[in-house]
Structure 1
């Protein structure tokens, strides 16, 4: 049984929607169904969801537009498209918007369930940090450095460095997920928008740049975990966390 995973299903075909909804209901998912894109956006604004499933061709607001508007509000919620549009260009458009998966109609509900399970497993494996508050900060203290995100400036003492947009986005992302193992695919998907081979090579270049930019604080370290991803470590916070855990252990 699935533990209270809430899904927003936007599908204008009532028969298809009923089949999918009943199948997922039986397996413990909580389904909110909308038959058009406008209703879907209103539901997303009102309730909390763990996953979105969108048809592409819907009245009032198509699935692509709906997904883009939701991505502007929430960068991380998984989105799965199901559509009779099966041309490569349709799938590419969906993935560029930020889709996690794309299923062709007619839908095999068993396959759909397995794809949902894979998406949620991947989602739950990502590091969870108090991101909501920290992602809204405009100035972030990173060890001895100060990142002024809107102006893309990194300062330490009297020294100031102008960052590119991508460098600033990557550094803030690493800080939000600091002291955790961050998978390469997760970084590429969230910062670059996809995880293809060439973007992966670009990521390595950017990591090397950030290491150079942060070299004046020996307490900051970017570790490459071969074949998996990276760890962005800030020594003071690691020591503080270990001290707190040791204190809890002594108190038991």
Structure 2
């Protein structure tokens, strides 16, 4: 099956390189050089996944993602951006993104992330753990729909947040080593990725802060432990 990718990027040279690489892997690529065109293509072509730059003419990537979510809540979105501050990443997920990849990025990493999101959202099974629903404390995690249910309400998770929480659950009451999580979810344990994981872990803790029987404990220099 050939998946359709909406790719919105206003830098022509980068857009051509990424597009050619994706096409060489068998994807059908629908290119847009501005946010308004990207939204129009989304409405007409119904792509399987969207890759959005943030700083674009006419509509920025955050706005395009918000508009896409009004039309379709289930199409996965990956932000590709040079904006890498914690607040930029959080804003990306709040606007409807499922993943966030900092420029410059490797095509290998981008394709891994695309395949992972397509597997989750289209039902294509990957090897490994096939469980998708988890109960811990009074909470439930749905990894397919990337949703966390707590006593305070329901939360939409990013791909990485859902993956991190799943790993914590699988290691519950034992230590999840930082390096293991970084290598499995990010693909490497660089300083930037370690800081990125800290942002996602803080967000998970915030969502679980009102759960008296659930706690994510940091083990200094080692990793994290989900106590439940």
Normalised to the residue count of structure 2, the TM-score between the two structures is 0.60
Contact 1:188 1:203 in 2 (8 A): no
Q: 1:79-228 alignment to 2 at 5 Å? A: 79-125=77-123, 182=133, 184=141, 185=143, 186-188=146-148, 191-194=154-157, 196-199=204-207
RMSD: 2.9
Contact 2:77 2:99 in 1 (8 A): yes
Deviations 1:65-104 (A, max 9, x none): 0001101111111000000111111001001122111111
CA 14–203 in structure 1, closer or farther in 2 if over 3 Å, else same: farther
Map of 1:144 onto structure 2: none
Distance 1:28 1:10 in 2: 18
Equivalent residue for 1:42, pick from 37, 40, 43: 40
Distance 2:41 2:9 in 1: 13
Q: Mark the runs of 5 or more structure 2 residues left unpaired by the alignment.
A: 125-131, 135-140, 162-203, 214-228
Deviations 1:96-152 (A, max 9, x none): 1221111111121111111111111222349xxxxxxxxxxxxxxxxxxxxxxxxxx
Distance 1:203 1:125 in 2: 31
CA 204–99 in structure 1, closer or farther in 2 if over 3 Å, else same: farther
Normalised to the residue count of structure 1, the TM-score between the two structures is 0.54
Which structure has greater helix proportion?
A: 1
The residue matched to 1:103 in structure 2 has which SS? Answer: strand
- Length, aligned pairs only: 152
User: After TM superposition, where is structure 1 displaced by more than 6 Å over at least 4 residues in a row?
Assistant: 201-205
Distance 2:212 2:69 in 1: 26
CA 182–25 in structure 1, closer or farther in 2 if over 3 Å, else same: same
Query: Larger Rg: 1 or 2?
Result: 1
